[in-house]
A and B are shown apart, each in its own frame.
Chain A
C-alpha cells in the first residue's frame, strides 16, 4: 500500500491561555485524495493544519506521531514546506506589493528565481484566471481575487500536498464553483488536498473522506455518502412554524411504524425519518409555506453531531 500523505496519531495542542484546541486527534490522509476537516469555529481545524506545516507546535507528548509526506514537521519543517502549498484562512498576502511581486517574492522564498519564476507565475495567473490583474495592487483586489491569488501563491512550488484553510468562506457562488473546479483539476493531476470548511456542500463537492471535529476531537469520519447512509435519516420534514408542530405530532403519533427523530427549537421543529410516506402524510395537515419536506443533507448530519448550541468561539 502506498504511504499516506499525512498520518497523525494522538495529536494534542494546548495554547498558552490554557485553551485545549486539539485533544488526541488521529487521522490519515491517503496520497492523492481529498480530505476535509469539518467543524464549527473553534473545533481545532486551523490549529491542526498549522501543526502540519510547522506554523504551530503540538504539545510534547511521547505517543504523538505526525508524518507529512514522510517528514515530521517538528524536525523537518522545510522538507515539508518545499513540497506543500499553504492557503491560510486570512490569505496573508503582502499588501505592500502588487500581484506579480507578491508571487515573485514567494517564489524566491521557495527557491524559484529568475525566468523560471516569471514563467511559472504567468502559468498560474492564467490557471487562476487572474492574468489581467498581473500588475494590480493587492489592496484593490476583490475578496474572490485575493483568494485565487493566495491559491496561485500556494501552487508556485508545484506542491504534492495542498493545505487550504476554509478556501471559500465569504465568497460568492460563482467564485466558489471556480475554486472547486480548480481544486478538482489539481486533484486529478495527483495533488493531495487537505481542506477545512464549515460548509457541508463544500465537503460534499470535494472530499473523498471527511472528518467531523468538535471541541478538538474527532466526532465522525468517513466517506460523505456512507456517513449519511449510516448516521442520518434519509428525509426531513422541517416545520417552520413551531406553533403548528402539534398537527404533525398528532399525525406521526398514530403508529405508522417508522422511527421518527424530532429536533425542536422555539421557532422550528424538524422530523427526521427514513420513509418518505409518513412525512408526506403529516405535511398534508399543514398549509403551504409552513413546512419544507426535503432530503436530509450533510448539514443536518453536521448539526446532529456537533449540536445546535453555539460554543464560546462562535
Chain B
C-alpha cells in the first residue's frame, strides 16, 4: 500500500473535519434543508404584517413589522441550533452510533462536541442570513448595519448549540427534549423581547427575562438592525460569550461519559 502515515493534525483542522461531516450531511438534501429557512420568516412576516401588524402602529417607538423582524433575525438560529445539538446529537450518539465510528479516527471526544457546537453556529449564521434576505427583499428594514446581524445569528447558534449539548448530556430518553422545547425555548420566544419589549413585563419577572439567553441575542440583533447601538449592548455581547463558553464547557465535560465508556 502506498502513502505514509500522517502526524496528528492541529486542533483547528480536527474541528474543521468534524464540521465538514455535518456540512456534507446537511448539503446532501439541498432543497429540503435549504428552502425552509427562507419560507418560515416569509410566512411569519407576511402573516403578522398583513394581520396583526395592522392593529399595532408601533412598538417601543418602531413600526411593529420592523420591531418584529429585528427579533426574528435570531429566533430561527436559536431553534435550529437547539434542535441540532439535542435531537441531532442524541440520535448520532444513541441511535446511529455515528460518534462510535468517528472516535476511531484521530480526534478526541471534545473535538467532536466542539465541532458540533461550531456547526450549530454555522447553521445559526445561515438561518439568520435567510431571514435577512427575506427582510431586505421585502424592504422591511434598510440595508446598513443590518448586514451584520447574521453574525449575531451565528453567536446565537453557538450559544444554543452549547446549551443543547449540556441538555443532551443529561437526557436518556429522546422524548425528554420535549420539556426543553415546550418548557423553555417556546416560552422564551415570547418573553425575551422578540414580540414585545421585556420592559413591558411585570417588574417581578423582569430579572427573569434578563437572565434568559435569547433576550440578549434579540437585543443585540435589534440594536444593529434598527441602527440603535449603544455602549450597554456590550453587556449583551459579553453575556453571550460567557454563557456559550461556560455552558459549553460544562456540557462537553458532562457528555464525555456518554462518549467514552
Binding site for B on A (CB under 8 A): 15-16, 47, 50, 53-57, 77-79, 81-83, 85-88, 90-97, 101, 104-106, 108-112, 116, 120, 123, 127, 150, 153-155, 157-160, 189
Residue of B4, B14, B105, B261 contacting most chain A CB atoms (<10 Å): B105
* Contacting pair B5 A82 (CB below 8 A): yes
* Contacting pair B261 A111 (CB below 8 A): no
* Contacting pair B25 A15 (CB below 8 A): no
* Contacting pair A82 B6 (CB below 8 A): yes
* Contacting pair B6 A111 (CB below 8 A): yes
* Contacting pair A110 B261 (CB below 8 A): no
On chain B, the residues within 8 Å of A90 by CB distance are: 97, 100
Partner of A110, one of B20, B21, B106: B106
Chain B interface SS verdict (over half):
loop
Residue of A78, A88, A104 contacting most chain B CB atoms (<10 Å): A78
Partner of A105, one of B20, B99, B257: B20
Q: How far is the CB of B174 from chain A (nearest CB, A)?
A: 17
In the docked arrangement, what's the CA distance between A151 and B71, Å?
A: 49
User: Range of interface residues on chain B?
Assistant: 35 or more
Residue of A nearest to B98 (CB): A94
Asked whether B13 is an interface residue with its Cβ less than 8 Å from the other chain, the reply is yes
Partner of A97, one of B6, B28, B97: B28
On chain B, the residues within 8 Å of A16 by CB distance are: 257
* Contacting pair A109 B3 (CB below 8 A): no
Partner of A82, one of B7, B16, B18, B97: B7
Known: A53-B104, A54-B260, A97-B25. A111 touches B9 (CB 8 A): yes
Partner of B5, one of A91, A106, A157: A157
Residue of B nearest to A16 (CB): B257
| A-B residue pairs in contact (CB < 8 Å), sample of 15 | A54-B103, A78-B107, A82-B6, A82-B7, A85-B104, A94-B21, A94-B96, A94-B102, A105-B24, A111-B6, A111-B17, A111-B106, A127-B1, A157-B105, A158-B5
In the docked arrangement, what's the CA distance between A78 and B19, Å?
A: 18
* Contacting pair A47 B261 (CB below 8 A): yes
Asked whether B31 is an interface residue with its Cβ less than 8 Å from the other chain, the reply is no
